[in-house]
Amino acid sequence: MVAAADKMHTRLFFERALRGAAPNLPGATCSSGKYPAGTWFPRGTDRPGREFARNLCLGCPVLRECREWATTSCTIPVGIVAGLTARQRRELRDQQRKAVPA
């Protein structure tokens, strides 16, 4: 029972976190309703879950637009966005900042 309650709490938390945080990209796999919001937020040790979410993103028809947003404006601190982990998004943002002359 605890596991089910924990899953429901996690799903609700991330559904609320995503409202207004993600761009409106018609046709995006993540907003199609085909997969629950928690799909993009696998637990840290869930490598198969991360790969599943990543592969869904990589096959998304709006990946390019999403990746642009994910590496410039994304404020979602965890999970898979545009096929990237939070760490990968931070690293790309840092690289982009360093590449821009001051």
Query: 68-95 pLDDT, tens per residue?
Result: 998 888 888 888 999 999 899 999 989 9
Q: How far is it, in rounded angstroms, from Cα 56 to Cα 39?
A: 10
What is the predicted pLDDT for the residue at 30? 87
What is the predicted pLDDT for the residue at 72? 86
Angle, helices 47-58/63-70, rounded to nearest 10 degrees: 120
- Could you tell me if 42 and 53 are in contact, meaning their C-beta atoms sit under 8 angstroms apart? yes
What is the predicted pLDDT for the residue at 57? 95
Whole-prediction pTM value?
A: 0.75
* Ranges of each domain in the chain: 2-99
- Measured over the CA atoms of residue 91, residue 50, residue 18 and residue 68, the dihedral's sign is positive
Lowest average pLDDT, out of 3-12, 19-28, 44-53, 69-78, goes to 3-12
Kindly state the average pLDDT of the residues 40-56.
91
Q: Which of 65, 72, 81 is nearest to 30 (CA)?
A: 81
